[in-house]
């Protein structure tokens, strides 16, 4: 029986390994993590992450061929294939601070693998890492092992949170990068054989190591760039009377462009887009390509601008002050169908409104009060000025409330801001909400989910991203 061990039981390690276990009953899969609470949760009825379909997959395999454990070294030493899916955040200190990937967790995982291994292993980069990381990992492994053969593969993950299980069941592609040596080719085949249990052969792409590593950064940069492009257009639409949905529809009908990922919004979030683009910017700078670096940097600058623009619009519309006014925030997660709040635009929007002394009342169906308070209390790392940290007043944080119902959040509010596209926000009883709000009642739709025309008929003053404004 082939044994797989995955180091890192997070948003990627957990779901990807659960699906491998489901699709490959003859493989034993153990997901290990140093975080005791995370592993405890994976072994309980309340999984540590919310992801549609995940509970069912885990319940089907857990205890049969899928295991979660904190015995990291034991399971690594017993595995044939070791996936490494640890976090690779942006460095906050030292060389490359604010841009470069922090590979501390990766390096310590690699050293531990070398230390505990007693048999040959395939080590798979599942985390998103800078191009050429495999070279560094190879050095760490070979210089610290006792004659053991390690083959390094790059197998970046393309799942999107909120649709992770669907994406893993039916991936657009699986990418495997390896060395063009007999050992490397054998390792690529072994990993290909795992995926071949459910992924059609034509969707499994094999490349050299550097192409695979760089493709992941490129894919995230292209996706984020699309969002920043449509968001940049949304600002121009508002200035000219064009409607960004009509523009996106017309543009997306061009088969060279395509219709996906063209929704204007308050901005992209999540743990990956910004971090991976910053990583790309740093790699370009290190390779003497400042103009290319600046090109990608602009994708993040437009995203920051979109969030600031939204806050400014809220404040300006409400007679230039939100001080002491109740503002309901609907949605805090960075997108629907996830409880993940990492880099969510809601953090910046809420901080902007708190800075103007608004009284926030926040509701998100999947995010806990503790999480929201932690996110808002945290100093945001300013990537452009790494020495600056934006201070947030503890009194401002105290003045907000977190509630478990959209109607509760909006009662007596002067304004509603929709920041996550949860389906339930499309079908709320907006007449009821309007009746219970202060007048004039403002609604700022940061995801373009409501029917602005109907809401205007009710009496709301509506702002939708990139749409003609209310007079
Ligand atoms: P995460 O923070 O949710 O999970 C990482 C886990 O690794 C944590 O639970 C942490 O405790 C564990 N860990 C760290 N060091 C360890 C060690 N030495 N031994 C054992 N466990 C250790 O991160 P994530 O969102 O799952 O992302 C993991 C990687 O995948 C990142 O590089 C990310 O960029 C990439 N990625 C993420 C997504 C996504 O949607 N979240 C998608 C594709 C790729």
Please write the tens of the pLDDT for every residue from 82-141: 999 999 999 999 999 999 999 999 999 999 999 999 999 999 999 999 999 999 999 999
The rounded mean pLDDT for the chain is 95
Atom of ligand 1 nearest to the CA of 108: 18
CB of 83 closer than 8 Å to CB of 17: yes
341 is in an annotated binding site: no
128 is in an annotated binding site: yes
What is the pLDDT at residue 259?
A: 96
What is the pLDDT at residue 378?
A: 81
CB of 195 closer than 8 Å to CB of 204: yes
Instruction: Give the residue among 413, 417, 405 at the shortest CA–CA distance from 435.
Output: 413
What is the pLDDT at residue 387?
A: 47
Say if the ipTM goes beyond 0.90: yes
Indicate if the pLDDT at residue 388 is higher than 50: no
DSSP state of 362: E
Indicate if the pLDDT at residue 399 is higher than 90: no
Phi, psi of 328 (to 5 degrees): -85, 130
pLDDT band at 383, cuts 50/70/90? Answer: low
Determine the residue of 15, 69, 72, 85 to mutate for testing ligand 1's pocket, defined as the one with the most ligand atoms within 8 A of the Cβ atom: 85
Closest-CA residue, ligand 1 atom 11, reads 35
Active site residue 61: no
pLDDT band at 185, cuts 50/70/90? Answer: very high
161 is in an annotated binding site: yes
Atom of ligand 1 nearest to the CA of 129: 32
Indicate if the pLDDT at residue 210 is higher than 90: yes
For residue 440, cis peptide bond before it (omega within 30 degrees of 0): yes
Mean pLDDT along residues 216-222: 98
The phi-psi region of residue 93 (left if phi > 0; otherwise alpha if psi is between -120 and 50; otherwise beta) is beta
14 alpha carbon – ligand 1 mean position (Å): 9
Token representation of residue 342: 């990492």
What is the pLDDT at residue 397?
A: 80
Indicate if the pLDDT at residue 471 is higher than 60: no
Token representation of residue 136: 């560094």
Q: How far apart are CA 275 and CA 257, in angstroms?
A: 25
Cβ of residue 223 lying under 6 Å from some atom of ligand 1:
no
Atom of ligand 1 nearest to the CA of 271: 41
Closest-CA residue, ligand 1 atom 2, reads 87
Determine the residue of 6, 9, 11 to mutate for testing ligand 1's pocket, defined as the one with the most ligand atoms within 8 A of the Cβ atom: 11
Mean pLDDT along residues 36-57: 98
Please write the tens of the pLDDT for every residue from 303-350: 999 999 999 999 999 999 999 999 999 999 999 999 999 999 999 999
Mean pLDDT along residues 272-282: 97
67 alpha carbon – ligand 1 mean position (Å): 17
Cβ of residue 83 lying under 6 Å from some atom of ligand 1:
no
343 alpha carbon – ligand 1 mean position (Å): 15
Closest-CA residue, ligand 1 atom 41, reads 11
- Helix segments in 24-67, DSSP class H: 36-42, 54-61
Indicate if the pLDDT at residue 443 is higher than 50: yes
Indicate if the pLDDT at residue 390 is higher than 80: no
pLDDT band at 366, cuts 50/70/90? Answer: very high
Catalytic residue selected from 272, 284, 350, 417: 272
Indicate if the pLDDT at residue 389 is higher than 50: no
Please write the tens of the pLDDT for every residue from 64-88: 999 999 999 999 999 999 999 999 9
Closest-CA residue, ligand 1 atom 21, reads 33
Cβ of residue 10 lying under 6 Å from some atom of ligand 1:
yes
The whole-model pTM stands at 0.95
Residues near 415 by Cβ (< 8 Å), separated by ≥ 6? 314, 318, 322, 325, 327, 328, 441, 442, 443, 444
9 is in an annotated binding site: yes
Closest-CA residue, ligand 1 atom 10, reads 8
Please write the tens of the pLDDT for every residue from 132-173: 999 999 999 999 888 899 999 999 999 999 999 999 999 999
Q: How many CB atoms lie within 10 A of CB 78?
A: 16
Cβ of residue 218 lying under 6 Å from some atom of ligand 1:
no
Give the rounded distance of the alpha carbon of 284 from its chain centre: 23
Please write the tens of the pLDDT for every residue from 1-22: 899 999 999 999 999 999 999 9
Closest-CA residue, ligand 1 atom 44, reads 157
Residues near 162 by Cβ (< 8 Å), separated by ≥ 6? 51, 52, 335, 336, 337, 338
Q: How far apart are CA 362 and CA 379, in angstroms?
A: 19
Atom of ligand 1 nearest to the CA of 112: 18
What is the pLDDT at residue 395?
A: 81
Indicate if the pLDDT at residue 470 is higher than 70: no
Cβ of residue 167 lying under 6 Å from some atom of ligand 1:
no
Residues near 252 by Cβ (< 8 Å), separated by ≥ 6? 258, 259, 260, 262
Please write the tens of the pLDDT for every residue from 230-271: 999 999 999 999 999 999 999 999 999 999 999 999 999 999
pLDDT band at 398, cuts 50/70/90? Answer: confident
219 alpha carbon – ligand 1 mean position (Å): 18
Question: What dihedral angle (degrees, nearest 10) is formed by the CA atoms of 73, 78, 79, 83?
Answer: 0
Closest-CA residue, ligand 1 atom 37, reads 12
Residue with tokens 């079908």: 427
Quick one: which H or E segment has residue 234?
Answer: helix 209-240
Cβ of residue 234 lying under 6 Å from some atom of ligand 1:
no
Instruction: Give the residue among 179, 227, 225, 226 at the shortest CA–CA distance from 206.
Output: 179
- Helix segments in 145-208, DSSP class H: 164-169, 182-195
Strands (DSSP E) contained in 36-160 are 66-69, 81-84, 121-125, 150-154
Phi, psi of 385 (to 5 degrees): -130, 75
133 alpha carbon – ligand 1 mean position (Å): 16
Strand partners, 361: 328, 401
Closest-CA residue, ligand 1 atom 6, reads 8
- Comparing 6-10, 187-191, 354-358, the range with the smallest average pLDDT is 354-358
Indicate if the pLDDT at residue 384 is higher than 90: no
Cβ of residue 162 lying under 6 Å from some atom of ligand 1:
no
Q: How far apart are CA 408 and CA 431, in angstroms?
A: 14
Q: How many CB atoms lie within 10 A of CB 428?
A: 18
């Amino acid at each position: 029986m082939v044994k797989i061990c995955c180091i890192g039981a997070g948003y990627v390690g957990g779901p990807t390994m659960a699906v491998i276990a489901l699709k490959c009953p003859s493989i034993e899969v153990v997901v290990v993590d140093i975080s005791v609470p995370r592993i405890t949760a994976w072994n309980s009825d309340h999984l540590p992450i919310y992801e549609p379909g995940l509970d069912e997959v885990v319940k089907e395999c857990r205890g049969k061929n899928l295991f979660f454990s904190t015995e990291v070294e034991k399971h690594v030493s017993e595995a044939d294939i070791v996936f490494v899916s640890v976090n690779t955040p942006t460095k906050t200190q030292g060389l490359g601070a604010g841009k470069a990937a922090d590979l501390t967790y990766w390096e310590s995982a690699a050293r531990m693998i070398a230390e505990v291994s007693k048999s040959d292993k395939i080590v798979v980069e599942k985390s998103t890492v800078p191009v050429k990381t495999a070279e560094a990992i190879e050095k760490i492994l070979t210089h610290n092992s006792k004659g053991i053969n390690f083959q390094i593969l790059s197998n970046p993950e393309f799942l999107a949170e909120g649709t992770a299980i669907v994406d893993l069941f039916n991936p657009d592609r699986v990418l495997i990068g390896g060395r063009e040596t007999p050992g490397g080719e054998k390792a690529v085949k072994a990993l290909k054989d795992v995926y071949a249990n459910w992924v059609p052969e034509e969707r499994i792409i094999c490349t050299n190591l550097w192409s695979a590593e760089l493709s992941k950064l490129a894919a995230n940069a292209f996706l984020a760039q699309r969002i920043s492009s449509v968001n940049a257009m949304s600002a121009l639409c508002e200035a000219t009377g064009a409607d960004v949905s009509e523009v996106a529809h017309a543009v997306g009908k061009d088969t060279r462009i395509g219709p996906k990922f063209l929704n204007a919004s308050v901005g992209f979030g999540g743990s990956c887009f910004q971090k991976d683009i910053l990583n790309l910017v740093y790699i370009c700078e290190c390779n003497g390509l400042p103009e290319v670096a600046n090109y990608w940097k602009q994708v993040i600058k437009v995203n920051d601008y979109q969030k600031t623009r939204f806050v400014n619009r809220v404040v300006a519309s409400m007679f230039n002050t939100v001080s002491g006014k109740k503002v309901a925030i609907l949605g805090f997660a960075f997108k629907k169908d996830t409880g993940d709040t990492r880099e969510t635009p809601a953090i910046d929007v809420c901080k902007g409104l708190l800075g103007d002394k608004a009284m926030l009342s926040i509701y998100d169906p999947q995010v806990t009060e503790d999480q929201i308070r932690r996110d808002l209390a945290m100093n945001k790392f300013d990537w452009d000025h790494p020495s600056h940290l934006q201070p947030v007043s503890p009194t401002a944080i105290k003045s907000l409330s977190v509630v478990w119902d959209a109607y509760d959040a909006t009662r007596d509010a002067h304004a509603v801001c929709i920041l996550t596209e949860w389906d339930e926000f499309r079908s709320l009883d907006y007449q009821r909400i309007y009746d219970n709000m202060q007048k004039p009642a403002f609604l700022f739709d940061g995801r373009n989910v409501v029917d602005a025309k109907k809401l205007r008929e009710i009496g709301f003053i509506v702002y939708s991203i990139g749409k003609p404004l209310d007079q």
